[in-house]
Amino acid sequence: MRKVRAAAAPYLLALPAWIWFAIFFVVPIAAMASVSLTTGNLLEGFQQTFSFSNYAKAVGQYHTQLIRSLIYGGIATLIMLVLAYPMAYWIAFKGGRRKSMYLFLLLLPFFVSFVLRTISWGFLLADDGILFGPLKSAGLLPGDFHVLATDVAVIGGLVYNFLPFMVLPIYVALERVDPRVVEAAYDLYASRWAAFRKVVLPLSLPGVFAGVLMTFVPATADPVNARILGGTGNTMIGNIIQTEYLTNNDYPTASALSFTLMAVLLVGIFVYARSLGTENVLEAAAR
């Protein structure tokens, strides 16, 4: 009896988590899946008709924004990776006793709301704002120069907002690399570059993997940056879902789009995990 109870203990302890997961994840997903197959409108109500055509219609109508979101998310993730890796490397290996301070600085922006920060970037980048205004009147920039409402502004915003989520997992992975193992590489005739490429980089790949997941998914689905920093030509799928849901009250279309986005991201993650998350890459890096 005691044995049974001891064996059950971990499950019992995990029960609140499971309940939380069921209520706040499984139920909404199921509800959304159901809504995505209904027809009707807000006034007359939605009927479950299993109309899978909702998906075809939504994707047909909004594939431009869907693809654009994936491209923006992808580019932003790549830029973040390029920026974050050296930052994480520097903090982990050169940070010395100030490591925690640098990490705190990295997280400092989180003390201000995400939307507010994005809006202030809007002010900064405004055509005649505090940054470009003086430069333009000084004749250093042409009068029609603008950043706001371009790809650059939206991708820049995504990079700015999600960068810490890339830095942190990479930092954690680098921090866990045993310095003796790196020394062993030097001892075995590796140059600095070879030691990095053959030992440090492969050992930090789990962090890179996590960082990419933690930034690509929210960046691709993000509606805030495109709305505040983008123009009409920069609309992302997140904006469409929001509009369909809140403005047009077209719940089936919004749900179908959400599911499509989720499916695309899941497939992407799966392919990515198969190619990068497995030992194949490590094996290749070892050569």
Binding residues for another protein (CB under 8 A) = 178, 180-181, 183-191, 194, 198-199, 202-203, 282-283, 285-287
Q: Rounded to the nearest whole angstrom, what is the least distance from the CB of residue 285 to another protein in the complex?
A: 7
Q: Rounded to the nearest whole angstrom, what is the least distance from the CB of residue 182 to another protein in the complex?
A: 9
Q: Rounded to the nearest whole angstrom, what is the least distance from the CB of residue 173 to another protein in the complex?
A: 12
191 or 275: CB nearest another protein: 191
63 or 274: CB nearest another protein: 274
CA 146 to CA 131: how far, in whole Å? 11
79 or 282: CB nearest another protein: 282
- Residues whose CB falls within 8 Å of the CB of residue 119, separated by 6 or more in sequence, listed in order: 228
- CA distances (Å), 90 to each of 22, 55, 79, 170, 182, in order? 41, 46, 17, 11, 15
CB of 156 within 8 A of CB of 229? yes
CB of 286 within 8 A of CB of 198? yes
Q: Rounded to the nearest whole angstrom, what is the least distance from the CB of residue 207 to another protein in the complex?
A: 13
CB of 228 within 8 A of CB of 119? yes
185 or 210: CB nearest another protein: 185
Q: Rounded to the nearest whole angstrom, what is the least distance from the CB of residue 172 to another protein in the complex?
A: 16
CA 166 to CA 213: how far, in whole Å? 9
141 or 285: CB nearest another protein: 285
Residue 40 phi/psi, 5-degree rounding, is: 135, -170
